[in-house]
């Protein structure tokens, strides 16, 4: 009986999720987060400045591009470049949604989509202010800031409070519609 009880305890312990090691969380080459994206985020991001909701509202009013990088699991695109989305979501009013661009390891077609969409939405001006966000405690926006900085954009902001903080403050929201692949206009 004692052996059976011991085996039952071992079975329960082995079912507990084990924390991921740093090498499982971050890509060794890029340093970007590649797993467990919903977790507490750091207080800074390489290539960008951290801002709060009031600063986001101010730079939005001054013409900054608000960039939502919330992923779209199960996404597909149609031949015309529009996205087939399994679910809709609400985003910060005036934001452009570029799904899948915040993952730590993105496919070449998504990397091209990000590059082309940024060029379109900024008029090709690498100094145009861009504020990147996702959800609260979402590493995808942290990744996206660095990826965008790597494309030569140098006026980047990171709003780590994301959609939830903005909404909790009663700020305006809108239904997000992803920018189509190969779009001719930014909005």
Q: Over the stretch 42-90, which tens digit does the pLDDT of each residue have?
A: 999 999 999 999 999 999 999 999 999 999 877 788 999 999 988 889 9
Largest CA distance in the chain: 73
Query: 72 in helix, strand or coil?
Result: coil
What lies within 8 Å, CB to CB, of 43 at 6+ separation is 50
The pTM assigned to this predicted structure is 0.87
According to the CATH classification, is domain 40-175 in 3.40.250.10?
A: yes
Of 98, 47, 106, 43, the closest CA to residue 69 belongs to: 98
The residue ranges of every structural domain in the chain are 40-175
- pLDDT digit string, tens, across residues 17-29: 555 666 689 999 9
């Amino acid at each position: 009986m004692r052996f059976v009880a011991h085996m039952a305890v071992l079975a329960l312990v082995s079912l507990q999720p084990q924390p991921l090691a740093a090498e499982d969380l971050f890509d060794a080459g890029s340093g970007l987060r590649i797993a467990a994206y919903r977790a507490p985020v750091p207080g800074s991001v390489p290539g960008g400045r951290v801002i709060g909701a009031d600063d986001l509202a101010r730079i939005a009013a001054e013409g900054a591009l608000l960039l939502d990088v919330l992923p779209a699991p199960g996404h597909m695109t149609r031949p015309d470049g529009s996205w087939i989305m399994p679910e809709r979501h609400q985003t910060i009013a005036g934001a452009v949604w570029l799904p899948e661009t915040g993952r730590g390891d993105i496919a070449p077609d998504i990397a091209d989509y990000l590059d082309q969409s940024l060029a379109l939405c900024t008029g090709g001006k690498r100094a145009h202010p861009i504020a990147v966000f996702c959800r609260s405690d979402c590493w995808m926006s942290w990744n996206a800031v660095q990826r965008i900085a790597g494309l030569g954009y140098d006026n980047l902001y990171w709003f780590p409070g994301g959609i939830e903080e903005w909404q909790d403050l009663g700020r305006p929201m809108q239904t997000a519609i992803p920018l189509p692949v190969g779009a001719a206009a930014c909005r």
